[in-house]
Structure 1
Amino acid sequence: MKKTFPYVAAMLMLAQTLVAQQHSEQNHDKYVMPSDPQVKQKLGQWQNVKFGLLMHWGVYSQWGIVESWSLCPEDEGWCERRGPYKDNWYEYKKAYENLKNTFNPTQFAPEKWAAAAKNAGMKYVVFTTKHHDGFCMFDTKQTDYKITKSPFGSNPRSNVAKEVFGAFRKEGFMVGAYFSKPDWHTDDYWWSYFPPKDRNPSYHPKKYPQKWESFKKFTYNQIEELMSDYGKMDILWLDGGWVRPFSSIDTTVSWQKAIPFDQDIDMARIAKRSRELQPGLLVVDRTVSGEFENYVTPEHQIPDHYMSIPWETCMTMGDSWSYIPKENFKSARKLIHILSDIVSKNGNLLLNIAPSPEGDFHAEAYQRLEEIGKWIKVNGEAIYETRGDNEIGIQGKWRFTHKGADVTYAIYLADEGESLPTGLEIDRLTLGKTAKITLLGSTEALRWTSKEGKTAIQISEKSAKKIPGSYAYVFKITK
């Protein structure tokens, strides 16, 4: 992920726009549906669960700064350095990497996260095992730059990724490992012989093929560890889309034009070995269209239309991917509207919450999860195991999902303070005489009339008063 330092609101808004452009601008016409039957089955399962949790957590949490990007020597808002040695990149990098020596999240209790996420209706998790800075939240054998070599290393739960995956798996979650393909700590990517100029390797891989082969081996070995030693895995979620074969660059996409040379890490070999260890594994090589991007992942953006291919919006609950002391969390109403909008367009929502350096969420994040969960308990059948609507379409405050050919869910996105209206109309919906419309949360059949493709739903004042105020009202239409 990439974004700016979060303390200046105007800069944040600008950076999030730029970030979304870099991660979302993609030609989806090049999507390739997997052919492996086990992968296809897993993809269908993933499309049914709809709502997931993403977590960015690492040494950067201690400074309350952007994840990894302050190390990157690029003149971009999200790379801005703050804090100690901000005017000297070499000293700053040394201080940043020394954060390993103070990282000690003694409040770490992944069961608490898993319980709160499950109560909110989330059904899959993607945890950051390693971000671009190279700090590993798992006990890799490939480097000592890892949490088990921090002060937390003496804790019996110091292999954090294993603990997180285990806790969520026990709650029935699909489990995914976020892994950064670029690694700015290893000398095989940012070779100390040449200072880095940007996010790319500090050397030309074609000129130094042995160095690049060493990096490929390092990457392969780390992913093999994650697929071997951390239990059943459902998703390998790869970030850092500039690490890709040069032949895969789409010159119609602005950010990809800046990739200077081939960075092929042999995804075919990685995927083959990963699926030998984890049959049916979903591989998500973000923004690299083709057989190793089993679903697409627009970042901080929601398409304005239905997409038939498998897709997921990844988005922050607050403003930042990483922990900041004072976060600006989206309201429960907004988050429920976002979820409903995404699902109506045939996608999933992967919502990011960042743990603190001590190892817990903001209290307000737990509050949001609880509020979402209350809505989901009443209305979840309109979300799970549904598919988006490509016929009725978006109509003002209405969003629509389907279960098979006979059940449509009409989700009315209520404004702040808006009570359930006593009369509502849906266009492009023609019903037969035996159709039934109910409001989720009530068993009472509602009166309706249908004429020339318009369906008018009547809710009596008595019935409306029985339904408590809600962020979104869901009508179940059985044909």
Structure 2
Amino acid sequence: MLRPLFFFVTLLVCGLSAQAQYEANWNSIDSRPVPTWFQDAKFGIFIHWGVFSVPAWGPTKSAVYEQYAEWYWWRLLDPKAATYKEFNDFHNRTYGKDFKYQDFVKGFTCEMFEPADWATILEQSGARYVVLTSKHHEGFTLWPSAQSWNWNAVDVGPHRDLAGDLSQAVKAKGLHMGFYYSLYEWFNPLYKSDVNKYVDDHMIPQMKDLVTRYKPDVVWTDGEWDHPSETWKSTSFLAWLYNESPVKETVVVNDRWGKETRSKHGGIYTTEYDLVHDQTSVGKKIEHPWEECRGIGGSFGYNRNEQLSDYSTSEKLVHILIDKVARGGNLLLNIGPTADGRIPVIMQQRLADMGGWLRVNGEAIYGTRSWDKAPAVTADTKVYYTRKGNDLYVICTKFPEQSLTVKGVSKNAKVSLLGYSGKVAQAASGSDLKITPPSLNPATNPCQYAWVFKVANAL
């Protein structure tokens, strides 16, 4: 009698377990919810760092993609690139025609890299997660990957596990740690000769090693455009990631898993400098969880050619963050460290300013969602809205000189200005709430760049 009962219980447990499993197809993979932590975090830091950080050069007056210093190797060898001549002229003039890209690894020394200091800078920026390039399209890995023998940061260059050291420091600060990973490699002989063997023997084992070794909360893939997701075996990897990996409950992935997948399959959708496949989405709310990635300047990798005018101001960056969050997205803001392991001071300054604003106004950013009834943003008003529970946040990117009217709120609503200890005058007329901004002076002004009126019990 015990054996049938045991068999029945075993079947029941296995059946429940099987129902929770994700299959290697997009219908199943796409059914997995994006972990809540990501939608609550709102602000992350992208880090592009690698051998490309040694030449650290790109033009600054070209189209966006042509400015990317991390594409240095490709631009040197691609005569179809609009900036091919510019890259070659700079390279030959600076290093000589016989200097190969691989020779740059000797300059990727990272002797100034202090992971604890980086983690402090990142934490104080107000970011809640970090995504480091574990491997860009050049194929060089920042960890001791067996699949990239003699082309990784432990075997050559700094002789150090950069990914591991930073991951440990970032997690110690209570931030989520993730990794960018390029599916393809420009000049890997195996990739060029047999992409299927490359995927089976190189890419998949490498990705599983990265996940198993460092347990990241984000796997941010790129370089997917050469092949459909079937060639990359993306759904098979994601089924493993969601069913068996040590981060199956918490990991967030993006939508770059094949040339057909952006804004269609995977996890979060990703825009880049507001460039998306569906251009009608720019400036509008995207219903699916999404994230905008961009640099402080025009490049992701550090670009020595950039001037002050090429960098976004702190005010602009705060406004970008507000815009993305109010439309239901996240901002993944990139920094490009130097080859010796420093975060450029101008980037530190921008991050510190964003952190200062968030320390006052983070309540209107973290854990919020877009407000379905928010009026359209206009050039005159520049007012954005977020919500959290029954509370509404009215975010003004310029301090209002006249009263504001918020429509469709509860008569029990109570208004305050975040960071300001004084009272804010308000008047209700039906479901309309009139907010009269207080008069501020340098002593009472709570912040710079943008101001937030909290409307408690508004909804």
TM-score range, shorter chain: 0.7 to 0.9
Out of 279, 283, 289, the residue aligned to residue 248 of structure 2 is: 279
1:425-479 CA distance string (max 9 Å, x none): 235x133432101000124442222447653211343689622452100000012
Distance 1:177 1:410, change over 3 A: same
Does residue 214 (structure 1) correspond to residue 202 (structure 2)? The answer is: no
1: CA distance, partners of 2:152 / 2:76? 17
Does residue 35 (structure 1) correspond to residue 31 (structure 2)? The answer is: yes
Q: Is the CA contact (8 Å cut-off) linking 1:243 and 1:265 kept in structure 2?
A: no
Letter in 2 for 1:164: L
Q: CA deviation at 1:71?
A: 4.7
Q: CA deviation at 1:180?
A: 0.5
Out of 346, 349, 353, the residue aligned to residue 335 of structure 2 is: 353
Does residue 425 (structure 1) correspond to residue 404 (structure 2)? The answer is: yes
1: CA distance, partners of 2:454 / 2:131? 31
2: CA distance, partners of 1:129 / 1:425? 47
Q: CA deviation at 1:289?
A: 4.3
2: CA distance, partners of 1:219 / 1:56? 20
Alignment correspondent of 1:73: 78
Q: Is the CA contact (8 Å cut-off) linking 1:31 and 1:289 kept in structure 2?
A: no
Alignment correspondent of 1:188: 190
Q: CA deviation at 1:407?
A: 0.5
1:308-387 equivalences under 5 Å are 308-327=287-306, 328-387=310-369
2: CA distance, partners of 1:77 / 1:387? 41
2: CA distance, partners of 1:289 / 1:424? 42
Give the alignment's Cα RMSD to 1 decimal. 2.8
Alignment correspondent of 1:53: 45
2: CA distance, partners of 1:125 / 1:285? 18
Letter in 2 for 1:165: S
Out of 368, 375, 383, the residue aligned to residue 398 of structure 1 is: 383
Q: Is the CA contact (8 Å cut-off) linking 2:393 and 2:452 kept in structure 1?
A: yes
Letter in 1 for 2:227: R
Distance 1:461 1:98, change over 3 A: closer
Q: CA deviation at 1:35?
A: 3.0
Letter in 2 for 1:274: L
Percent of aligned pairs sharing the same letter: 29
Q: CA deviation at 1:138?
A: 1.3
Secondary structure of the corresponding residue to residue 362 of structure 2: helix
2: CA distance, partners of 1:343 / 1:176? 20
2: CA distance, partners of 1:147 / 1:237? 20
Q: Is the CA contact (8 Å cut-off) linking 1:430 and 1:450 kept in structure 2?
A: no
1:362-381 CA distance string (max 9 Å, x none): 11111111111111111000
2: CA distance, partners of 1:51 / 1:462? 28
1: CA distance, partners of 2:301 / 2:441? 44
Alignment correspondent of 1:25: none
Letter in 2 for 1:170: A
- Equivalences, count: 397
Does residue 62 (structure 1) correspond to residue 50 (structure 2)? The answer is: no
1:120-199 equivalences under 5 Å are 120-143=125-148, 144-153=150-159, 158-191=160-193
2: CA distance, partners of 1:186 / 1:422? 59
2: CA distance, partners of 1:353 / 1:343? 20
TM-score by length of 2: 0.80
Out of 411, 423, 436, the residue aligned to residue 395 of structure 2 is: 411
Q: CA deviation at 1:70?
A: 1.9
2: CA distance, partners of 1:410 / 1:292? 33
Q: CA deviation at 1:290?
A: 7.8
Secondary structure of the corresponding residue to residue 272 of structure 1: helix
Q: CA deviation at 1:115?
A: 0.8
Secondary structure of the corresponding residue to residue 100 of structure 2: helix
Alignment correspondent of 2:91: 84
Q: Which ranges of structure 2 fall in alignment gaps of 5 or more residues?
A: 1-25, 58-68, 276-281
2: CA distance, partners of 1:462 / 1:320? 38
Q: Is the CA contact (8 Å cut-off) linking 2:121 and 2:352 kept in structure 1?
A: yes
Q: CA deviation at 1:285?
A: 3.7
Q: CA deviation at 1:176?
A: 1.2
TM-score by length of 1: 0.77
Secondary structure of the corresponding residue to residue 236 of structure 1: strand
2: CA distance, partners of 1:167 / 1:132? 26
Does residue 111 (structure 1) correspond to residue 116 (structure 2)? The answer is: yes
1:313-348 CA distance string (max 9 Å, x none): 001011211112253321111110110111000000
Q: Which ranges of structure 1 fall in alignment gaps of 5 or more residues?
A: 1-29, 192-210, 249-262, 415-419
Out of 235, 245, 249, the residue aligned to residue 268 of structure 1 is: 235
Q: Is the CA contact (8 Å cut-off) linking 2:139 and 2:185 kept in structure 1?
A: yes
